[in-house]
């Protein structure tokens, strides 16, 4: 336990000798990633050239990651309010009212680049970071989701990345004891040089006790808790390009390693302290560590802050102020305490064997003052640095969607069974059981099993502990749609999340997002960003499904090869009566199947085109249109019939269309079905028209008349039963064969050595 013990530096240096306090030049600014103009603004704000330490602060605070300078303008389009929204974007996580005096706090974040460099640790620390965002708010984390995108399975790096990332997510989540309940996993060559690892965390807090990062009360102590600070993750380019290269080897930044055990202790200690009345404000140290956490707390409160950096608990000897301020060591938090509460807090952190140090105080100077062994080493104004953080309206060009497909040019369907088997067994269509069985998806004893099935449905269902309610959680995005038509793709990601929640009976409340794109400095990429966010905003507006938190990850490209535009949507809904929840598994034979929604047979951009006909990109035509009013009407209808107890199982239609959805329902329970479809064509069987659901019901006539009354297209599709999937009383394919294909691909791919 360290409190305010001073570390002796190996070579004791007085502040004026430190390279950190040498004045910077424009070249230093550029080397640290600022533009010439941004550097000039920094000089103006300081009234002198900032020293190298101060420059480091400008450079991280004005980085794309912290300042959202390319995306801000477009994020403002998102609707962020609804009667149930407690906190929208701007805090560590968003918060919505989920009834019973409780709030759900949730957010998604990317760890793409670190996961490419070191898949296990990159993914693990991604989970750790997003959990901190949630428990910082006073919420106990109750669920994790993970949205993964990898390159071509045949690319030499892919297998190793899949194995490492999945192990990393499990390694962290399993150890902290928060269930990983759902996610996505797709493969596409566009991610060869840049996989995506997005993690979402959900926590539950008392609605009237949500903690924020807004500092208050000059004179209040600033307290550091958690793990010690090392040289982890200090921006490599920054380090290499400054004059800081004595002891170069020793000071080389290192990969961040996660310590889930310490995180678990930090969760328990923070929640224990939060139950007292000691905390004024709290903020985790995420990207840009101590710099952005202290800066944000002070700037939100309109205050100044003074930190004695020599009091920061350090893991390594010889660390300098610059390194301490920029370190991204994990499992650390910064808090402002009420005066006199230090002892209460310290006792709790000592009990959990965590470091605790009072490292500074809030001031009313409006300045961030950093000292090192008593000498001032940085002194920068907070407000101007925050207010004048750059914002760009980057040039963009609109993506022109491909011309409609000429259906006549497509080869005929042939045997539907072959196509179905292929779709269910393709890398993207195959079961992701191999992944989620490596995650403890049940710990905490609230992961619901419906119709005998846990994970693998449209949304994960997590009981709200001690209540009769449940959260429904999903993450969705169809990047190939976004690439072909960003606006439609953006809408579709939101609409699919809405459908996945509705299909369980849950009322969709709000979303978080993770916007993964290539370089915003390329107008065509910026055009994808603009289009996707416009589409998302429209959909959120129309569906009453506001954005309450999110994350932007740009520059996802390697050698000029950008990823597919991938705006991942994390949706949260609530079921007021968990006993009414349904999932995709047929619970019995003899039920009738009803198809809800309209089928035109849209084949453009479908999984069928990609996986069966091998057509992708501009060759694959435009994606299906999302009709938001219809989405809302159909979703509302589906929830209402589930609420009335008319539904035994429900699944939305997405990748692979009707036949894939029916097969997934049958495979989930092992009970087959027999379908009647007038036109056996690729368009009818595998088209991806939006806004559709399959419902299994023992009350078909009630469902149909309710649909008629609600003006929702609905028609009988077939019946459940048997151990095969049969079309028009004719040919059938056994579930055993379908299962072999669906469950076979991922394990055989991921567990093989070559």
Partner 1 sequence: MSLRAGVVVFPGSNCDRDGAVALAMVAGRKPKMIWHQDTKLPPLDLIFLPGGFSYGDYLRCGAIAAHSPVMREVVAAAKKGVAVLGVCNGFHLLTESGLLPGALIRNAGLKFVCRSVDLTVERTDTPYAGRYTQGQSLSIPVAHGDGNYTADADTLARLNDEGRVAFRYRDNPNGSADNIAGIYNETGRVLGMMPHPERAVEPMLGSSDGLGLFQSIAEVLA
Partner 2 sequence: MIRAEVRVMLKNGVLDPQGQATRKALAHLGFSDVEAVRQGKLIVLDLNTDDRAAAEAEARAMASKLLANPVIEDFSVELLDA
Ligand X SMILES: Nc1ncnc2c1ncn2[C@@H]1O[C@H](COP(=O)(O)OP(=O)(O)O)[C@@H](O)[C@H]1O
Q: Report the residue number, 230 or 508, with the smaller CB distance to Mg ion.
A: 508
**String marking each residue 185-204 x if it binds ligand X according to CB under 6 A:** x-------------------
Check binding of 566 to ligand X (CB under 6 A).
no
Number of residues that bind partner 1 (CB under 8 A): 32
Among 182, 226, 427, 624, contact with ligand X (rule: CB under 6 A): 182
Check binding of 310 to ligand X (CB under 6 A).
no
Among 258, 289, 457, 489, contact with ligand X (rule: CB under 6 A): 457
Check binding of 500 to partner 1 (CB under 8 A).
no
- For residue 600, the SS3 value is coil
From 177-185, 254-262, 410-418, 613-621, span contacting ligand X (CB under 6 A): 177-185
- For residue 552, the SS3 value is strand
DSSP label at residue 623:
P
Q: Within 40-99, which residues bind ligand X (CB under 6 A)? A: none
DSSP states of 119-163: HHHHHHHHHHHHHHHHHTTTPEEEEEEEEEEE--TTSTTHHHHHH
Q: Report the residue number, 77 or 254, with the smaller CB distance to partner 2.
A: 254
DSSP label at residue 624:
P
Check binding of 726 to Mg ion (CB under 5 A).
no
Torsion 295-297-302-305 (CA) sign: negative
Question: Catalytic: which of 111, 235, 651, 699?
Answer: 111
Q: Provide the β-strand partners of residue 108.
A: 200
**String marking each residue 129-168 x if it binds ligand X according to CB under 6 A:** -----------------x-x--------------------
Among 116, 211, 436, 529, contact with ligand X (rule: CB under 6 A): 436
Check binding of 70 to Mg ion (CB under 5 A).
no
Q: Report the residue number, 380 or 746, with the smaller CB distance to ligand X.
A: 746
Q: How many angstroms separate the CA atoms of 587 and 721, rounded?
A: 10
**Shortest distance in whole angstroms from residue 727 CB to Mg ion:** 22
- For residue 239, the SS3 value is helix
Q: Which does 121 bind (CB under 5 to 8 A by kind): ligand X, partner 2, partner 1, none?
A: partner 2
Q: Which does 753 bind (CB under 5 to 8 A by kind): partner 1, partner 2, ligand X, none?
A: partner 2
Q: Report the residue number, 227 or 462, with the smaller CB distance to partner 2.
A: 227
Q: Are 580 and 505 in contact (CB under 8 A)?
A: yes
DSSP states of 339-393: TT-HHHHHHHHHHTT-EEEEEEEEESSSEEEEEETTEEEEEEEHHHHHHT-----
From 105-113, 363-371, 455-463, 552-560, span contacting ligand X (CB under 6 A): 455-463
- Tokens 């059981």, located at residue: 433
Q: How many angstroms separate the CA atoms of 141 and 206, rounded?
A: 13
Question: In the annotation, is 65 catalytic?
Answer: yes
Question: In the annotation, is 111 catalytic?
Answer: yes
Name the token pair of 668. Answer: 């989930």
Check binding of 476 to ligand X (CB under 6 A).
yes
Name the token pair of 201. Answer: 């965390």
Check binding of 657 to ligand X (CB under 6 A).
no
Name the token pair of 466. Answer: 């001690």
Q: How many angstroms separate the CA atoms of 56 and 369, rounded?
A: 14
From 224-232, 247-255, 431-439, 590-598, span contacting ligand X (CB under 6 A): 431-439
Starting at the edge strand that comes first in sequence, how are the strands of the sheet with 470-476 ordered? 460-463, 470-476, 566-575, 507-516, 547-553
Check binding of 454 to partner 1 (CB under 8 A).
yes
**Shortest distance in whole angstroms from residue 288 CB to partner 1:** 27
Q: Report the residue number, 332 or 499, with the smaller CB distance to ligand X.
A: 499
DSSP states of 48-83: S--BHHHHHHHHHHTSHHHH-TTTHHHHTTS----T
Residue ranges in contact with ligand X by CB under 6 A: 146, 148, 182-185, 432, 435-436, 455-458, 476, 500, 654-655
Residue ranges in contact with partner 1 by CB under 8 A: 167, 170-171, 174-177, 259-262, 264-265, 352-353, 436-445, 447-449, 452, 454, 463, 578
List, by residue number, the catalytic residues. 65, 111
């Amino acid at each position: 336990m360290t409190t305010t013990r001073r570390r002796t530096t190996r070579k004791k240096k007085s502040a004026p000798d430190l390279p950190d306090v040498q004045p910077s030049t424009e070249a230093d600014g550029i080397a640290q990633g600022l533009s010439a103009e941004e550097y000039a603004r920094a000089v103006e704000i300081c009234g002198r050239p900032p020293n190298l330490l101060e420059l480091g602060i400008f450079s991280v605070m004005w980085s794309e990651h912290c300042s959202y300078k390319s995306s801000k303008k477009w994020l403002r389009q998102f609707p962020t309010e609804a009667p149930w929204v407690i906190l929208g974007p701007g805090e560590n996580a968003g918060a919505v009212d989920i009834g019973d005096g409780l709030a759900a706090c949730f957010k998604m974040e990317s760890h793409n680049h670190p996961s490419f460099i070191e898949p296990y640790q990159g993914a693990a620390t991604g989970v750790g970071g997003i959990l901190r965002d949630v428990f910082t708010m006073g919420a106990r984390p109750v669920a994790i989701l993970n949205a993964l995108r990898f390159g071509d399975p045949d690319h030499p790096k892919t297998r190793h990345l899949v194995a490492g990332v999945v192990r990393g997510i499990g390694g962290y989540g399993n150890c902290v004891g928060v269930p990983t309940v759902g996610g996505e996993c797709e493969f596409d060559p566009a991610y060869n040089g840049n996989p995506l690892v997005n993690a979402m965390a959900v926590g539950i807090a008392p609605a009237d006790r949500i903690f924020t990062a807004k500092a208050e009360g000059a004179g209040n102590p600033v307290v550091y808790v958690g793990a010690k600070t090392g040289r982890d993750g200090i921006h490599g380019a920054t380090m290499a390009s400054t004059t800081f290269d004595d002891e170069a080897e020793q000071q080389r930044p290192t990969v961040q390693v996660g310590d889930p055990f310490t995180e678990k202790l930090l969760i328990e200690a923070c929640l224990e302290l939060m139950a007292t009345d000691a905390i004024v404000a709290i903020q985790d140290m995420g990207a840009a560590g101590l710099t952005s956490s202290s800066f944000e707390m002070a700037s939100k409160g309109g205050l100044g802050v003074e930190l004695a950096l020599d009091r920061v608990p350090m893991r390594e000897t010889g660390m300098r102020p610059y390194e301490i301020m920029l370190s991204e060591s994990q499992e650390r938090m910064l808090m402002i305490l009420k005066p006199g509460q230090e002892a209460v807090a310290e006792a709790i952190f000592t009990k959990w064997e965590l470091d605790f140090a009072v490292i500074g105080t809030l001031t009313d100077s409006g300045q961030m003052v950093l000292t090192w062994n008593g000498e001032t080493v940085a002194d920068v104004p907070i407000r101007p640095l925050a207010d004048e953080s750059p914002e760009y309206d980057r040039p963009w060009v609109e993506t022109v969607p491909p011309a409609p497909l000429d259906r006549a040019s497509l080869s005929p369907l042939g045997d539907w069974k072959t196509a179905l088997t292929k779709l269910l067994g393709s890398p993207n269509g195959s079961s992701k059981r191999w992944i989620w069985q490596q995650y403890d998806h049940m710990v905490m004893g609230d992961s619901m099993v419906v119709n005998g099935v846990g994970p693998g449905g449209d949304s994960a269902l997590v009981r709200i502990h001690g209540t009769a309610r449940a959260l429904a959680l999903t993450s969705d995005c169809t990047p190939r749609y976004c690439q072909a038509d960003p606006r439609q793709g953006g809408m579709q990601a939101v609409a699919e999340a809405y459908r996945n929640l509705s299909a369980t009976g849950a009322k969709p409340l709000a979303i978080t997002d993770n916007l993964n794109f290539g370089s915003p400095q390329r107008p065509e990429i910026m055009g994808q960003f603009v289009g996707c966010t416009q589409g998302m905003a429209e959909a959120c507006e129309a569906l009453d499904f506001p954005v309450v938190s999110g994350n932007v990850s740009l520059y996802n490209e390697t050698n000029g090869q950008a990823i597919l535009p991938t705006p991942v949507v994390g949706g949260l809904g609530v079921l007021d009566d968990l006993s009414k929840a349904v999932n995709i598994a047929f619970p019995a034979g003899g039920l009738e199947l009803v198809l809800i929604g309209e089928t035109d047979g849209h084949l453009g951009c479908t999984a069928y085109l990609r996986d069966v006909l091998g057509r992708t990109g501009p060759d694959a035509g435009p994606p299906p249109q999302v009709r938001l009013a219809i989405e809302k009407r159909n979703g509302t209808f589906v929830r209402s019939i589930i609420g009335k107890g008319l539904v035994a199982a429900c699944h939305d239609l997405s990748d692979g269309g009707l036949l894939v959805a029916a097969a997934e329902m049958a495979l989930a329970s092992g009970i087959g079905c027999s379908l009647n479809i007038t036109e056996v064509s690729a368009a009818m069987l595998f088209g991806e028209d939006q806004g559709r659901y399959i419902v299994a019901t023992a009350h078909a006539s009630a469902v149909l008349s309710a649909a008629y009354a609600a003006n929702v297209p609905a028609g009988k599709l077939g019946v459940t039963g048997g151990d095969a999937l049969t079309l028009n009383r004719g040919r059938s394919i056994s579930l055993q064969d379908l299962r072999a294909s669906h469950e076979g691909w991922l394990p055989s791919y991921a567990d093989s050595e070559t």
